Amino acid sequence: MSQIKENSSRKIIFGIPTGSLQENSLLFLRKAGFNIHAAPRVCQPKIDDSQINCFLLRAQEIPKYVALGKLDAGIAGTDWILEQKAKVVEVCDLDFAKKTVGKAVKWVLAVPQNSPIKSIKDLQGKVVASEVVNITNAYLRKNGVKAKVEFSWGASEAKAPLFVDAVVDITETGESLKANNLKILDTILESKTKLIASPMAWRNPWKREKIEAIAMLVYGRVQGHQMSNIMAHSTTANLPKILAVVKKYDQPSVKKIAGTDYFDVSFRCKALQARDLLPALKMAGAHGIVQSPAFRLD
Amino acid sequence: MPTKNKLRLGIPGRALREQTIELLQKAGYSVNITASGHKITIDDPEIECFFSKTQELAEWVEDGMLDAAIVHKARLLEQNIKTKEISQLNYSNSAWHATRVVLSVPVDSKIKSVKDLNGQEVFSRLPNLTKKFLESQGIKAKVTKVGYPGEAKGEMFNKPLVDFTDTGRTLAEHNMKVLAEIMKTLPCLVMNLASYQDVWKRQKTENLAMLLTGARLAIDMVGLMMHVPNELMPEVLKVLPAMKKPTVTQLRGENLFDVLTVIDKKQARELVPQLKKIGCTDIVEFPLEKVII
């Protein structure tokens, strides 16, 4: 391998999606310790890691360029990976969407509230608008229905019933569908955000190691975002009861507190679980219960 | 009417609204409010939330229309509401401290003290409490009930006024000055007396109270961890506040202890430099989400 080739392979070209995933992608990359400066209208944000070049690209296009090896790695949803039939390596789940963390977004088949279409079968011979034409065609084929799938540039919610009979659209909270008087007939696909790598980069040991390091840091931050540390004090007598509660959530670390007959019980749980867990701990006799944001999970 | 295994909870829809929503979120609930702002839902299917003015919430929790509600202590006393108090929460309309019910007058008023109120007319958002207060001071005055907001009316008609105040800013905007404090008041989580007898509802409300007070306390506190050499331990334990026993563990194979504790945020400003000076190392301050003592 020539000297020049060697140098250029010591750089990761990384795709960050614009649009709905942009804000959370930048947020978690920053939380992972990368300072990224994305000035408005600039497509190549600056990052304080000389081994990474970032590009802001449409989420729809990232899988394609990753599959081609033009991008070494990037952030993309499984929806666009499938739609573009892109052959990429899925390095890890990132579990965030536009508004929520920890929930999958859904592509759904929706029709107007008062539509005569009551089930998929009624779609026979009808027209469906969809941004994900390939996924929609595959879905219809699987259900043995022949319908015309029209590519939609977006704002699909507005198109039924005037322009098309049904729409396939993405929903995170369901609010946009409700606001446009649509009801869901079926879920076509649950899409998750992933960190993906190109098969070419994955074969290069240096690139693979670098991509895995980025993935580990960002993954840890997304997981940590949803996690809390819990610490509680217990007497020797209450310890078995308290451990019985904790064991449903995590393997706790139990430490004797120096100079007392108290124990400190520390563990991690999902922040959402704390609501049920804290009253149960208190009931089991714990005191001095402290919940704090999880420390790094690397 | 309230149903089994579902808690109907009244949430202040005007005053106290924003702080209550923030505290529910900090307690771990995801709060959703409709575009009109009138409907509130949270991600616990066992709790049905309901927005209204606290005057109404107080009556409805007494009647049993609601199982529980968050209402100012002063409001409960004013309307002579009979409920079971589960917990008092330390916040107000715009700050994380108590609200005061005060008697104020326009800055250029001839009334200079409470005694000067004899024979005068007093505007009040809380007429019953005001009458009791004046009686206790031996004052005979006419008390006229006024609605929200009171400050503008006191200024416009040059009358003494009894109203809630958090920061005193609105009073100042209306050129009113405080003559006397009638009481301090905090939002109370209260339960209907029959609902309180229902074991499930009581447990549900008490758990909610635990999470709300735990989240509230965490706002004022920080966690602190540090390494302390063996010989410095007595001195360090002396300066650490005793509210919560610090967690002290010995580091394996070292003459060092790991000390972890929670302290008041304001104390940290003085305590951290002090601990450093004593000889503690690797001092880390970290934020807290809930503190349940």
Tokens describing residue B85: 């108090």
pLDDT of residue A122: 93
How many whole angstroms separate alpha carbon B195 and alpha carbon B130? 31
Per-residue pLDDT reduced to its tens digit, A8-55: 568 999 999 998 889 889 999 998 889 998 887 788 999 999 999 999
The answer, for A291 touching chain B at a CB cutoff of 8 Å, is yes
Find all residues with CB under 8 Å of B114, minimum gap 6, and list them: B103, B137, B139, B179, B180
Fold of domain A3-99+193-224: D-Maltodextrin-Binding Protein; domain 2 (3.40.190)
pLDDT of residue B240: 87
Q: Do B97 and B118 contact (CB within 8 A), yes or no?
A: no
Considering only CB atoms, which chain A residues are within 8 Å of B29?
275
Torsional sign, CA A195, A201, A205, A207:
negative
B48 has pLDDT over 90:
yes
A225 has pLDDT over 80:
no
Tokens describing residue B26: 């900090």
Tokens describing residue A274: 């704390």
* SS3 at position B114: helix
A180 has pLDDT over 90:
no
**Confidence class for position B148, pLDDT limits 50, 70, 90:** confident
Query: What stretch of H or E contains A203?
Result: helix A199-203
A297 has pLDDT over 60:
no
Which of B27, B210, B218 is opposite residue A282, by nearest beta carbon? B210
Q: Which residue has the higher pLDDT, B243 or B149?
A: B149
How many whole angstroms separate alpha carbon B105 and alpha carbon B97? 24
Q: Do B185 and B72 contact (CB within 8 A), yes or no?
A: yes
B237 has pLDDT over 80:
yes
**Confidence class for position A270, pLDDT limits 50, 70, 90:** confident
CATH of domain B7-96+187-218: 3.40.190.10
In three state form, how does the secondary structure of A75-138 look? Answer: EEEHHHHHHCCCCCEEEEECCECCCCECCCEEEEEEEECCCCCCCHHHHCCCEEEECCHHHHHH
- With a threshold of 0.90, does the pTM exceed it? no
Pairwise CB contact (< 8 Å): B249 & A279 = no
Pairwise CB contact (< 8 Å): B293 & A291 = no
Fold of domain B221-287: Alpha-Beta Plaits (3.30.70)
Per-residue pLDDT reduced to its tens digit, B78-117: 999 999 999 999 999 888 999 999 999 999 999 999 999 9
pLDDT of residue A2: 45
Domains of chain A by residue range: 3-99+193-224, 105-190, 227-293
Considering only CB atoms, which chain A residues are within 8 Å of B250?
258
**Distances from the Cα of A247 to the Cα of A252, A265, B46, B219, angstroms:** 7, 11, 25, 28
* Burial of B234 per CB tally in 10 Å (0-12, 13-18, 19+): exposed
Which residue out of B31, B247, B262 would a mutagenesis test of the A interface target, given it has the greatest number of A Cβ atoms within 10 Å?
Answer: B247
Determine whether domain A105-190 maps to CATH 3.40.190.10. yes
Least confident of A103-117, A247-261, B260-274: A247-261
pLDDT of residue A296: 52
Which of B28, B262, B287 is opposite residue A271, by nearest beta carbon? B28
pLDDT of residue B2: 52
For the A227-293 domain, the top CATH level (class) is alpha beta
Pairwise CB contact (< 8 Å): B289 & A293 = yes
**Confidence class for position A4, pLDDT limits 50, 70, 90:** very low
Pairwise CB contact (< 8 Å): A275 & B244 = no
**Confidence class for position B211, pLDDT limits 50, 70, 90:** very high
Pairwise CB contact (< 8 Å): A272 & B28 = yes
Fold of domain B99-185: D-Maltodextrin-Binding Protein; domain 2 (3.40.190)
> Rounded to a whole number, what is the distance in Å from the CA of B59 to chain A's nearest CA?
29
A258 has pLDDT over 90:
no
Backbone angles phi, psi at B276, to 5 degrees: -60, -40
pLDDT of residue A298: 40
Domains of chain B by residue range: 7-96+187-218, 99-185, 221-287
Pairwise CB contact (< 8 Å): A275 & B257 = no
Domains A3-99+193-224 and A105-190 share a fold: yes
Average pLDDT over residues A66-79: 96
DSSP A244-262: HHHTTT---EEEEPTTSSE
DSSP B268-284: HHHHHHHHHHHT-EEEE
**Confidence class for position B243, pLDDT limits 50, 70, 90:** low
Query: Mean pLDDT of all residues in chain A?
Result: 88
Average pLDDT over residues B20-46: 89
Average pLDDT over residues A135-143: 95
Using alpha carbons, select from B35, B41, B165, B2 the residue that is nearest to residue B95. B165
* Burial of B113 per CB tally in 10 Å (0-12, 13-18, 19+): exposed
Using alpha carbons, select from B191, B149, B198, B162 the residue that is nearest to residue B5. B198
- The number of C-alpha atoms within 13 Å of B170 and in the hemisphere containing its C-beta is 15
Please tell me which residue of chain B has the smallest CA distance to A281: B292
Query: Mean pLDDT of all residues in chain B?
Result: 91
Considering only CB atoms, which chain B residues are within 8 Å of A258?
248-250, 257
Find all residues with CB under 8 Å of A115, minimum gap 6, and list them: A160, A161, A165, A166
B190 has pLDDT over 80:
yes
A289 has pLDDT over 50:
yes
A144 has pLDDT over 80:
yes
- The number of C-alpha atoms within 13 Å of B166 and in the hemisphere containing its C-beta is 15
pLDDT of residue A173: 74
Please tell me which residue of chain A has the smallest CA distance to B234: A259
Domains B7-96+187-218 and B99-185 share a fold: yes
Q: For chain B, how many helices (H) and strands (E)? A: 10, 17
